[in-house]
Amino acid sequence: MSKSVTASVGVRELEVLDLADCCAPLRRESLDAEHASTLASAFKALADPVRLQLLNLIATADGGETCACDLVEPVGKSQPTVSHHLKVLREAGLVQSEKRGTWVWYAVVPEQLDELRRVLSR
């Protein structure tokens, strides 16, 4: 299985990519087809300019979190499109979201980005 369920208080549940035991550094150990698919899914989440901008906006925001309402205008896409991309980022485990009243707040998951860095290491 390459997916697991993350559940914690206040944080909305979602099936997210589990990169913990998937995959040694690309340049070190061999990579079978299944692990390659899991890893490819993670990089797919980064393979879109809008998602990279969203990730950047969230990561560089004060307090490390951003209201979804502040993400639509900066990327210049419609609200449904932004919502879609945020879902992709969540499913990849790259961001977390938490609903507070009317608003949903997003924060990056540093560990997941670190996992991808590790895969690219020597």
Binding site for DNA (CB under 7 A): 44, 47-48, 50, 67-69, 72, 77-81, 83-88, 97, 99, 101-104
* Eight-state DSSP code of residue 70: G
Determine, following the binding rule CB under 8 A, whether residue 56 of this chain makes contact with a second copy: yes
Residue 55's binding partner out of DNA, a second copy, none, with CB under 5 to 8 Å set by partner kind: a second copy
Round to whole Å and give the CA distance between 73 and 67.
12
- Residue 94 phi/psi, 5-degree rounding, is -85, -25
3-state SS of 12-52 is EEEEEECCCCCCCCCCCCCCCHHHHHHHHHHHHHHCCHHHH
Footprint of a second copy on residues 96-115 (CB under 8 A)?
A: 108, 110, 113-114
Determine, following the binding rule CB under 8 A, whether residue 63 of this chain makes contact with a second copy: no
Residue 85's binding partner out of DNA, a second copy, none, with CB under 5 to 8 Å set by partner kind: DNA
CB of 121 to DNA, least distance (A): 24
What six digits make up the tokens of 35?
């692990």
Round to whole Å and give the CA distance between 14 and 5.
6
Which of 68, 59, 54, 69 lies closest to 110, judged by CA?
Answer: 59
Residue 84's binding partner out of a second copy, DNA, none, with CB under 5 to 8 Å set by partner kind: DNA
Binding residues for a second copy, rule: CB under 8 A, are: 26-31, 33, 36-37, 39-40, 43-44, 46-53, 55-57, 59-60, 75-76, 108, 110, 113-114, 116-117, 120-122
